[in-house]
Structure 1
């Protein structure tokens, strides 16, 4: 029964990704007039093959540290967002001779006539916002694999926070100082694509249970235990990847916009302060984890080393001697 449920959830999540991917690529074909852009659907077209392999070779219908399904979905929508944003940039230039914003292929279908009449900027904004919603819903619907429900709930809440920070990058493209500068927009799109690489990497937001970390520390050599845990635990990797993939680059980008491009508004100031605070907190957390695992073992264990075997058999004697030594 559990196996059947996992298969149904796998089908539902991939169907959700496929629908949004097809809609995004369709919009790219509409604004560019290039039928070759349908090749962008290669990513979502491979979801069926990926699901077959995943269900066949995994126990819980999902891989542990990496999600090929989310990666294939992003391989379709990220290039599509690039095409749509660069098309908007072209339309915002002072000399604009492009007429590719008119709908073509599906504009005569009754179901799509109303959608085709939307402003191109509204189209792009809607697709970008729904992309983050689809990522959260798809991660929620897909089989949770080896994650517990507690870890999954934490992962989903973190995804929502990441999505809000990522979407603010697109709001900066609407600023008068930025909307016609191709280099600044390309850098912003690159940071957007770079930050989305957190979503396929489940390692960046999940951590091992404490009993597993304790088991590893027991099997590790005493001199290397603290170094191994602090440098290789999934929590530290999570913090490092979050700083490197999102908070650090976003902070530099926003500081550049504020200082060099003179983009000053309430949202820009808020998200810049937020990035500064998060980077400081993440560095502080890494230091805490490092010193927590590398410090000497506690008073009870040190007392055990200093007392004989007879004191082990008498709990009151050990407790009293520990209190005196403390």
Structure 2
């Protein structure tokens, strides 16, 4: 069993490094500068984390937080930033290359290097975004459990799937709306995208709420602590959605529509969707607070002594 956990931990981190390496190779190819190979240095923390985790935790991940996923994001996000900025600066001159895929396997492998270098930049970047999000979900599934139950893991993976779809839609749709020479908006969108990716290393949204116990105050004081302890999962879901995903997405879309004069049907639809999610999260938080009933003091503590 320990050997299986070791293998799963190594395979997952190897996939992380492989995808990051492909991103660095693409950056070097696009920029035509060997200095960008120095981005490989960002893999070193992931390798160190793998060694420490295998040695001290037998490959198990942590309960509240996944360092492997965070370090994977640190290793690949700079490459995506460089590719996105380069594409926006050279959008007019980038060729839209069409290619065919040979049927025979021998022809395919001979054609593969040429195919990878001649895919249009937009498809390359979109594919890298898609592979990144899929690997985050599969990687979390493959990583050995560490303090998270299988039920919580299944909930977390379902949350990741929905989150990944929203993030991919945000980046692909919003970046495609950018007009030429709007570099400030590109930086804003990429910054919000980077901020939203921080949801993946966190497990707070599926941590089981602490049940009421004898240590909780019985006199009605500390109600905020009681609410948080009993509804921590719901509260963390509200915080992540409002301040890490839908809230920032809504702000960016409003900026695109008002300041940059970009207005179309899909942009309005997703802006309304983000607004509704934020409002419903606030409504959910109000309902939790209003429906909460603090524990009543026991009769034995209020009865006068005999």
TM-score w.r.t. structure 1 length?
Answer: 0.79
Structure 1 CA distance for aligned equivalents of residues 80 and 25 of structure 2: 12
Quote the offset at 1:59 in angstroms: 6.6
Describe how 1:57-136 pairs up with structure 2 within 5 A: 57-58=56-57, 61-92=60-91, 111-136=112-137
Q: For the structure 1 residues 113 and 271, does the alpha-carbon distance in structure 2 shift closer, same or farther, using more than 3 Å as the test? A: same
Quote the offset at 1:263 in angstroms: 2.5
Structure 2 CA distance for aligned equivalents of residues 5 and 290 of structure 1: 44
Q: Which residue of 2 aligns with 1:315?
A: none
Quote the offset at 1:307 in angstroms: 9.6
CA RMSD of aligned residues (A): 2.8
Pick the structure with greater CA Rg: 1
Deviations 1:276-310 (A, max 9, x none): 111112112222333344x2447xx87898999xx
Deviations 1:245-265 (A, max 9, x none): 111111111112123333233
Q: For the structure 1 residues 235 and 44, does the alpha-carbon distance in structure 2 shift closer, same or farther, using more than 3 Å as the test? A: farther
SS of aligned partner of 2:5: helix
Q: Which residue of 1 aligns with 2:207?
A: 207
1:227 aligned to 2:224? yes
Quote the offset at 1:275 in angstroms: 0.8
Structure 2 CA distance for aligned equivalents of residues 235 and 47 of structure 1: 31
Describe how 1:1-80 pairs up with structure 2 within 5 A: 1=1, 3-58=2-57, 61-80=60-79
Matched positions, count? 288
Structure 2 CA distance for aligned equivalents of residues 73 and 40 of structure 1: 13
TM-score w.r.t. structure 2 length?
Answer: 0.84
Q: For the structure 1 residues 219 and 306, does the alpha-carbon distance in structure 2 shift closer, same or farther, using more than 3 Å as the test? A: closer
Contact 1:17/1:73, CA 8 A, preserved across alignment: yes
Contact 2:241/2:278, CA 8 A, preserved across alignment: no
SS of aligned partner of 1:84: helix
Deviations 1:223-272 (A, max 9, x none): 44421133463542332133111111111111121233332333322221
Structure 1 CA distance for aligned equivalents of residues 152 and 81 of structure 2: 32
Please, which runs of 5 or more residues in structure 2 have no aligned partner? 96-109
Deviations 1:41-86 (A, max 9, x none): 2333432321221233337711121111111111121111110011
Describe how 1:134-283 pairs up with structure 2 within 5 A: 134-170=135-171, 171-175=173-177, 177-203=178-204, 205-209=205-209, 212-215=210-213, 218-222=214-218, 223-231=220-228, 233-283=232-282
Quote the offset at 1:120 in angstroms: 1.1
Structure 1 CA distance for aligned equivalents of residues 111 and 300 of structure 2: 80
Q: For the structure 1 residues 151 and 14, does the alpha-carbon distance in structure 2 shift closer, same or farther, using more than 3 Å as the test? A: same
Structure 1 CA distance for aligned equivalents of residues 251 and 53 of structure 2: 38
Contact 1:64/1:202, CA 8 A, preserved across alignment: yes
Contact 1:206/1:234, CA 8 A, preserved across alignment: yes
SS of aligned partner of 2:271: helix
